[in-house]
Amino acid sequence: MIVFQIQAWLLSDSVPRNDFVSANREGIYSLLGYLALYYLSSVLGSFISSTGIRLKSWIYRDLQLLLWTLVLFALQKLCESLFGPPSRRIVNAPYIIEMLVFHTFMTAGFLFVQLVSFFGWAAQMPQFKRDENAFELLQPCLLRAINKNAMCFFIIANVLTGVVNMLGIPSKYSGQYQSTACITLYILIVCASIFALSKRRRS
């Protein structure tokens, strides 16, 4: 009951904003949620980084991530039934768990692609030493380009976001196919730009 009363106060348009706390109530309350999301993401990162260098251990880790995705998804549905739908505005518990579900699933998907690609790269590489991490030697060119030019990648993505906003694309009312096409084109342009920049710097 207390949680619903707090959420109603935070999201109400009739509550006056006549002091610092009431004027910034969503931001103050959501700070706790973002801190929780940060620390939970750090736990996920530590869980992944503790994986050994053997290929079998990474396959096992990918299966664990998929299992955690299912567990977190069930927990998200439980939280939604107790606290209502996810809200990015106040970063409530359903939203935090929804973000964990999304990022855990995407990490598992990216790791799966990395594992599948590993076999093709390994055929073209010399024998690995016992203490070497094969994933570091067989790093995809796009991942290497982003890691070496992280600030440029961030700037390009933000500039392109501004361009999309200046074009006046009504993203709020766009259909699912138009939205998917827009975000796909956005990702392709950002990735192609950073890859071209990295290739130019190497040459």
| Mean pLDDT per 10-residue segment, the chain (203 residues) | 58 66 69 89 90 83 96 94 83 90 93 79 58 60 86 91 79 75 89 91 77
Looking at the fold, whether 67 and 152 belong to one and the same domain comes out as no
Looking at the fold, whether 34 and 122 belong to one and the same domain comes out as yes
pLDDT score recorded for residue 20: 64
Looking at the fold, whether 109 and 31 belong to one and the same domain comes out as yes
Buried/exposed code over 49-87 (b: 16+ C-beta within 10 A; e: otherwise): eeeeeeeeebeebbeebeebbeebbeebeebbeebeebb
pTM exceeds 0.75 for this model = no
In a domain, 77, yes or no: yes
Total domains, the chain: 2
Looking at the fold, whether 11 and 80 belong to one and the same domain comes out as yes
Range of the domain at 158: 140-202
pLDDT score recorded for residue 18: 73
pLDDT score recorded for residue 22: 64
pLDDT score recorded for residue 63: 96
pLDDT score recorded for residue 191: 92
- Alpha-carbon Rg for the chain, nearest whole angstrom, is 21
Looking at the fold, whether 83 and 37 belong to one and the same domain comes out as yes
Looking at the fold, whether 93 and 158 belong to one and the same domain comes out as no
Looking at the fold, whether 145 and 192 belong to one and the same domain comes out as yes
Looking at the fold, whether 110 and 188 belong to one and the same domain comes out as no
pLDDT score recorded for residue 202: 78
In a domain, 123, yes or no: yes
